[in-house]
Amino acid sequence: MPQAEDPREEALRRLDERAKALKAKTEPAASSITGATATSQAYRILAELLGGVLLGIGAGAVVDWLFHTNPWGVIGGVLLGFALSLYMARRTANRLMAQAKAEEAARQAQASKAGED
């Protein structure tokens, strides 16, 4: 006749199973998508910075060509393009920060909900 398991060992085994299940539920899955997303967002901000300056140079060159104001059109275009690109990059960065904060809050809410169970 087989012997009954020690109740303490059975309780430890069940506790270990519950701990593993909780860890699997709350631990975020590691993936390369997060790194790819961060890289794409960085390239987007870089494109906004460079695009604004290049657009300003182009618009300033057109103004110089039309009104024969060399080099003041290009200088003004670069300054305006730089200001516009900083504004756009700042707006994108603020949106990404708000998105990251919302994801973190959701992750914490899920973790606290799992802790209550």
| 0.85 exceeded by pTM | no
Q: Residues 49-89: pLDDT tens digits? A: 999 999 999 999 999 999 999 999 999 999 999 999 999 99
How is residue 53 written in tokens?
């300056």
Distance between CA atoms of residues 34 and 43, nearest Å: 14
Does the residue 57 lie in any domain?
A: yes
Distance between CA atoms of residues 10 and 117, nearest Å: 21
Q: Is 78 within 8 Å of 57 (Cβ atoms)?
A: yes
Does the residue 29 lie in any domain?
A: no
pLDDT at position 28: 66
How is residue 51 written in tokens?
């695009």
pLDDT at position 115: 67
**Cβ neighbour number for residue 85 with a 10 Å cutoff:** 21
Does the residue 10 lie in any domain?
A: no
Residue 1 scores a pLDDT above 50: no
Does the residue 75 lie in any domain?
A: yes
